[in-house]
Amino acid sequence: MAATDLHYLGLVDVGQKIQAKALSPVEVTKAMLGRIEKLDGKLKSFAYVMAESALAEAAAAEQEIAAGKIRGPLHGVPVAVKDLCWAKGAPAAHGMTIHHDFRPAEDATVVARLKDAGAVILGKLQQTEGAYADHHPKIDPPKNPWNADLWPGASSSGSGAATAAGLCFGSLGTDTGGSIRFPSAANGVTGLKPTWGRVSRYGAFELAATLDHIGPMARSAVDCGAILGAIAGQDPKDTTSVPLPVPNYLANLSGDLRGVTIGIDRRWTSEGTDSDAAAVLAEGLRVAAELGAEIKEINFPDPRAVIDDWFPLCGIEAAVAHEDTYPARKDEYGPGLAGLLDLGRQQSGMDYQKIVLRREAFRGAVRVLFESVDLLAVPAQAFAAPSLAKMATLGEDASLIGGLLRFTCPFDMTGSPTVTLPGGFAANGGPVGFQFVGRHFDEAGLVRAGDAFQRATDWHKRHPGI
């Protein structure tokens, strides 16, 4: 197979070829490193390329596979991780200038587990400053490979751009307010935000501890399931990780949705939602119904209070995470992250407790809702494929901020798992996605639903022309 045919293969597909010895993990890794060298000067998706260690990992995988030892679907497959995830000896700047010299002495648990699964780590992917909204003024932000004038997503923008552009077969992103889902939708890839506690956060810089989720971004729901299967599970180094067994997310994929009830709140999902985002959600529901799902009208709990609460809560938790350097080194922070930290430091104990109580009440109401449905269908965001020019006005337009977070941050506040699926294109040519949301720890149901949708459609097989 020619190198030009490789880069847009699915992760599981290329893994099967590698594990069947039809492809060499060393040659595949060399091809991917060559593509990074060719394209990433413009895309800016990598913060640091780990070429030497990647080739060593590929050579080790090749030897093991030749000896008949197969570690699983990721064995020999080149992937990349968001920069906030520590990789031993490699820079981990967290999108900040303060940490530009930091090289951790150990791997994050998710990185260690990818290595244990035999994956080849190509490098660290660029992110916003501190994993919040904006890139540090001194760092070049990643470009959307479909159109450099379109928004590439928020904090996991490097993960979205690199995965969409065929610079890796899958990646890790993080989601605190929507940053697996925004770049997945913006770049036309699939993203799986696991239940909070399903994946260890040890060795990953925090934005907001009780809101942060680490999860996979890849070509398809199946590919995301393969990555999640490697990184999920209890970790003694992170006592918030939940001691539940990790299922085989690639098992029992039937290609249909018979017996699955999908809830839709048509008022909530349509008010203020633009025509492109609404059309993609409607088409997703139509396909789901054809695949056998029961579509059920529901009333979603009013999320407005928790959306408003997300900002001060994120600010409080981020202020704790940054207390060693902020405000002592405030002049080294960009304005976006500094503003969040100032907001957090202004909150009182009374303010915080009210937020906690509203969050718990909302979380309980959503839990009750999932007693009558298996999944929810919601847009990825209220407006599809925004331009960089539009997103530059984010701080001046409250409706823009609300539309961005409306369908994402409520599920960080609840810790619910979601899968974001490519579902079409906007009038400006940018990809558009939608979400299925599941009950806690039912990522297998999300992989099943995403896989069924993607067997019936080809949106996830479309790639930017680069």
Helix (H, G, I), strand (E, B) or coil at 82: strand
CB of 53 closer than 8 Å to CB of 119: no
DSSP letter assigned to residue 245: P
Provide the pLDDT for residue 397.
76
Q: How far apart are CA 264 and CA 345, in angstroms?
A: 38
Helix (H, G, I), strand (E, B) or coil at 10: coil
3-state helix vs strand vs coil in the chain, percent to 5: 40, 15, 45
How many other β-carbons are positioned within 10 Å of the β-carbon of residue 356? 13
Q: How far apart are CA 83 and CA 159, in angstroms?
A: 9
Provide the residue-wise pLDDT of the chain in tens; the chain has 466 residues. Answer: 444 579 999 999 999 999 999 999 999 999 999 999 999 999 999 999 999 999 999 999 999 999 999 999 999 999 999 999 999 999 999 999 999 999 999 999 999 999 999 999 999 999 999 999 999 999 999 999 999 999 999 999 999 999 999 999 999 999 999 999 999 999 999 999 999 999 999 999 999 999 999 999 999 999 999 999 999 999 999 999 999 999 999 999 999 999 999 999 999 999 999 999 999 999 999 999 999 999 999 999 999 999 999 999 999 999 999 999 999 999 999 999 999 999 999 999 999 999 999 999 999 999 999 999 999 999 999 999 999 999 988 767 777 888 899 999 999 999 999 999 999 999 999 999 999 999 999 999 999 999 999 999 999 999 999 9
Q: How far apart are CA 180 and CA 159, in angstroms?
A: 9
Max intra-chain CA distance, the chain? 63
Provide the pLDDT for residue 1.
45
CA distances 299 to 336, 370, 379, Å, are 35, 12, 16
Provide the pLDDT for residue 403.
84
Q: How far apart are CA 79 and CA 29, in angstroms?
A: 9
CB of 222 closer than 8 Å to CB of 229: no
Burial classification of residue 271, based on how many CB atoms lie within 10 Å of its CB (0-12 exposed, 13-18 middle, 19 or more buried): exposed
Q: Which of 17, 24, 44, 82 is catalytic?
A: 82
Tokens representing residue 405 in the block: 């977070």
Q: Which of 179, 184, 220, 241 is catalytic?
A: 179
Strands 190-193 and 213-218 come out as antiparallel
Q: In the Cβ-directed half-sphere of 425, how many Cα atoms lie within 13 Å?
A: 14
Phi, psi (rounded to 5 degrees) for 82 = -60, 145
Q: How far apart are CA 465 and CA 349, in angstroms?
A: 52
Q: Which of 24, 45, 155, 200 is catalytic?
A: 155
Beta bridge partners of 431: 425
Q: Which amino acid is at 255?
A: G
- Is residue 155 annotated as part of the catalytic site, yes or no? yes
- Is residue 354 annotated as part of the catalytic site, yes or no? no
| Sign of the torsion formed by the C-alpha atoms of 47, 53, 57 and 63 | positive
Provide the pLDDT for residue 2.
46
DSSP letter assigned to residue 150: B
Is omega for the bond preceding 327 within 30 degrees of 0, making it cis?
yes
Provide the pLDDT for residue 177.
97
DSSP letter assigned to residue 247: P
Provide the pLDDT for residue 4.
52
- Is residue 193 annotated as part of the catalytic site, yes or no? no
What does 91-149 look like in DSSP terms, one character per residue? ---TT-STTTT---SS--HHHHHHHHTT-EEEEEE---GGGSSS--TTSPPP--TT-TT
Provide the pLDDT for residue 3.
45
How many other β-carbons are positioned within 10 Å of the β-carbon of residue 201? 24
